Amino acid sequence: MRAGCASGVEPRAAAPVPAPAPAAAPAPAAAPVQSRAITVANAGFEAGMKAQNRCALSWDCTMHNDPGSFRFSLLESGAAAGARSLCVERVANEPWMLLTQATQDASLRGKRVRLSMQVRVEGATGGGAGPWLLAQARPVANVSRLAKGTSGWQSLSVELALPADAQVVEFGATLEGPGKACFDEVRLEVL
Ligand SMILES: [Ca+2]
């Protein structure tokens, strides 16, 4: 003989609300499978500036003729990544400035490399601003990709097949003509 069912519905304590499952960590940005990153010092400009704000630490800043023609500063609100980005503004009538590092890594010779970075421009009404890559070889090989006008952060990249006799590879950013540009998240990789 079966026991009778209990009459009525037994009051039940409210089930505890299960803790939400932890959100899956976002997948890291997919890098091309066979690319190899080359170390870039102070690639995100988090380390700060050289004395008198002449350039970002670990970088060289050069410009046509007048060394005071471009002014460098850290953008500490609205950086593309991290806490800081590097900005440069033309303040005298000179045609260009270059923000560069160089490598003599012999393993790069004859390889294809990609330079990418975040770029923001404001009133860049001349050639514009963006990544710049040069191989000291015979003949010199160089490439750039410049954003013009005024726009928010965008990712720009250039690629260059390095000549087999490339002794030095220079990489960085340029601003050609008037305006202001900010840079961040510089990345150099061998494809
Ligand atoms: Ca940064």
DSSP result, 117-174: EEEEEEEEEEEEEEEEEEEESSS-EEEE--EEEEEEEEEEEEEEE--TT--EEEEEEE
pLDDT of the residue at 152 = 98
- Which residues keep their CB under 5 angstroms from ion ligand 1? 44-45, 79, 81-82, 184
Q: What is the pTM (predicted TM-score) of this model?
A: 0.82
**Does residue 13 have a pLDDT over 90?**
no
d(CA 88, CA 94) in angstroms, rounded, equals 13
Q: What is the pLDDT of residues 50-67, one digit of tens each?
A: 999 999 999 999 999 999
Distance 7 CA to ligand 1 centre (A): 68
pLDDT of the residue at 11 = 54
The answer to whether the CB of 91 falls within 8 A of the CB of 68 is: yes
Distance 12 CA to ligand 1 centre (A): 54
pLDDT of the residue at 5 = 47
Both structure tokens of 123: 């009133």
pLDDT of the residue at 12 = 57
Closest CA to 152 of 56, 78, 82, 46: 78
Distance 85 CA to ligand 1 centre (A): 5
d(CA 154, CA 83) in angstroms, rounded, equals 17
Show the domains of the chain with their CATH numbers.
36-190 (2.60.120.260)
